[in-house]
Amino acid sequence: MDRKIGSKEFFLVKDSNMRDYIYYICCGNDYLGKCIFSKTKNEIFIKYITIFVHYRGNKLMPIFYDMLEKIFIDLKCTTVMLMAEERTEKYGKLEQLYKSIGFIPIKYHDAYNGDYPIRHIKMVKYLFVKSKL
């Protein structure tokens, strides 16, 4: 599950929780980001994914997601769902980020989170689990 990029070695740390799966992406002693997801049958729902603020802007999210996807495949899941919460002032950026890692938008909904306008984008990615035949 480890991932070496240049001189940096990234690895995942699992947090135990009764209901959800919680994983951190780490490098050395640093925790760089966090993902919370749930699983029902063969479907993963990503409830929350973040790169902690000091580590943003280094394209870590695709690396993190790629490591997580290997776990989804090990869990025999074929569908990954998420609800992106895109800030309207950065229109299209988050959607593009998820598209770049293979997600497809299936539903859009404009909203307001109390502080600023947002766009909810329901997104899906289908995984192709290798058959043993």
Q: Closest distance between ligand COA and the C-beta of residue 104, in Å?
A: 15
Whole-number minimum distance, CB 132 to ligand COA, in Å?
Answer: 34
Query: Which CB, 27 or 129, lies closer to ligand COA?
Result: 27
Toward ligand COA, which CB reaches closer, 31 or 76?
31
**Considering only residues 25, 35, 44, 61, which one is a binding residue for ligand COA as defined by CB under 6 A?**
61
Interface with ligand COA includes 50 (CB under 6 A)?
yes
Q: What is the 3-state secondary structure of the chain?
A: CCEEECCEEEEEEEECCCCCEEEEEEECCEEEEEEEEEEECCEEEEEEEEECHHHCCCCHHHHHHHHHHHHHHHCCCCEEEEEEEEEHHHCCHHHHHHHHCCCEEEEEEEEECCCCEEEEEEEEEECCCCCCC
For residues 61 and 97, the answer to whether their CB atoms sit within 8 Å is yes
Which tokens belong to 76? 């025999």
- Count of residues that bind ligand COA according to CB under 6 A: 17
- For ligand COA, the binding residue among 68, 80, 84, 103 (CB under 6 A) is 84
Residues in region 95-124 near ligand COA by CB under 6 A: 97
**Site of interaction with ligand COA (CB under 6 A):** 49-51, 56-61, 84-87, 90, 93-94, 97
